[in-house]
Amino acid sequence: MSDSRPHVVIIGAGFAGIAAAQRLANENVRITIIDRQNFHLFQPLLYQVSTSVLATDEIAYPIRSFFRNNDNVELFMAKATGFDPARNIVETNHGDVHYDYLVIASGATTNFFGMANVEKYSYGMKTLQEALHIRNHTLHMFERANKMEDSAEERRKMLTFICVGGGPTGVEEAGALCELIDIQRHEFHNLDFNEVQVILIEATDKVLPMMPEELRNYTVKTLEKKGVKVMLNTQVADCDADGLILKDGTRIPSKTVIWAAGVRAHIIASRLGTECDRGGRVVVNKDLRVPGFDNIFAIGDCACFVPGEGQRPLPTIAPVATQGAQVAGDNIMKLIRGEKTLDVFHYHDKGSMATIGRCEAVCNVGPFKTGFMAWCAWMFIHILRLEGFYTNITVLLKWGWNLFTGVRLGRLITNIDLSDAARREQNEPEKVAIEKAEAANKAAEEAALAAKKAQEAAIAAAAAAAELNKK
């Protein structure tokens, strides 16, 4: 039996997508959420997974659990690949999905600014898998360095951790790494921790650009007190397996480069074919509709909304996403009711905050701007935003335990390859590297020989054909 209710399709289950679905869940509409994952991710706490504070299930929540009491909301687990607006179709890797109204909330991914080697050798932190990769890699670096007794140079590479980007993600990651190192200091008895360093690199002259100057200065001083080397006005030119190359030609040897220098909209947003900014975000009207389409909205990190003439686009932060979702939901219901005048999006900035580690944070809202009380305010706000009572309790207990003891029990390396080949590569890296190079050279020689033989065969065939033509 066909369902005559208007069908709203939402691409993405981030802050914007979930908020839009929640706004419409109790209306007389049918909602389909398209997402590649079956969970909503609380991205502001990814850095705590990457530094062994929290577990994955404490910052991720099943999408279906949000809507267990709303039988008009369905998850279509697939990857959106394109659009056919003329037929009101979203194309996915599991078939087409028809819509009456479309909300594009596909979010953002890491922006490597076209530097292929940076993308290849550094670690982004926008997904749960990336955060786990950083955790495994960081812990593994200590274990490998602990066995590297003969090469101080190689050991220092393994014990140098670089965070690129002075926004909240970079600052929070650098501070959390220092605290993780303090724990390792008590357990790795053979390592010289004078060889360990954390470096924060920022291309501009300031960290946390959304904060006032006094809070930015406080952040730098606090990071330096924790042992972070802060490098401002420092631009990255390239990256390889052995470190980072700066624009002035300086090389910083390191096996760990964490890239938090910027984001760009997920590529699916640009496939609509409308105007996008240089970050790939779809330019939207004041009512959050995409120009040229009456029934397509774009919200969150994939939307470029300029509040007024001469102003900068709104930043890619959760409050912008959730507030935009409410307006988009309201406007969809107005369109369904046949109303012509839609609401205009007005963003209400409620302030910003960032943690610099245990007991340290900065807030540009409220009476407590820095220190322990600002950190408590930061914890309170983030606990409120987490989904599920179980998560709230476990995260609060872990933060409290970490406050009083500094212990991080999640320091588990879970991606070790236990095959014989992997063990040999770990134990005899130089010998294995030579063998791989020799094998690559041999393969190249065989390919060249095969090409030569093919060329000779082609010449012989051409000669034979010429002979036949003569006869």
Buried b vs exposed e over 285-297: b needs ≥16 C-beta within 10 Å?
bebbbbeebebbb
Strand ranges, E, within 314-398: 353-357, 360-363
164-194 confidence digits (pLDDT tens) = 999 999 999 999 999 999 999 999 999 999 9
Spatial distance between the Cα atoms of 56 and 135, rounded to a whole number of angstroms: 11
pLDDT of residue 448: 75
Instruction: Please identify which of the residues 172, 173, 179, 360 carries the catalytic annotation.
Output: 172
Q: What angle do CA 382, 383, 388 make, to 5 degrees?
A: 125
Reply yes or no on whether 172 is catalytic. yes
Q: What is the DSSP letter of 26?
A: T
Q: What is the pLDDT of residue 421?
A: 56
Work out the end-to-end distance of the chain between its first and last CA atoms, rounded to an integer number of angstroms: 75
pLDDT at 449 over 90: no
The phi and psi torsions of 36 (rounded to 5 degrees) equal -75, -25
Look over the chain and give the mean of its residue pLDDT values, rounded to a whole number: 92
Confidence class of residue 439 from pLDDT cuts 50, 70 and 90?
Answer: confident
Consecutive H or E run containing 238: strand 236-240
Q: Distance (Å, rounded) from C-alpha 410 to C-alpha 95?
A: 39
| Cβ neighbours for 191, distance < 8 A, ≥ 6 positions apart | 142, 145, 146, 159, 184
What's the predicted TM-score (pTM) here?
Answer: 0.85
Measure the CA–CA gap between 445 and 425, rounded to whole angstroms.
25
Neighbours of 170 (CB within 10 A): 25
pLDDT tens, position by position, 83-125: 999 999 999 999 999 999 999 999 999 999 999 999 999 999 9
Mean pLDDT along residues 328-339: 98
CA contacts within 13 A on the Cβ side of 231: 18
For residue 428, pLDDT beyond 70: no
Say if residue 384 is exposed, middle or buried (CB neighbours under 10 Å; 0-12, 13-18, 19+).
exposed
**Whether the predicted pLDDT of 22 surpasses 90:** yes
Q: Is the pLDDT of residue 429 over 90?
A: no
Using left for φ > 0, alpha for ψ between -120 and 50, and beta otherwise, residue 69 falls in alpha
CA–CA distance from 416 to each of 177, 333, 351, 387 (Å)?
A: 21, 51, 42, 31
Q: What is the DSSP letter of 357?
A: E
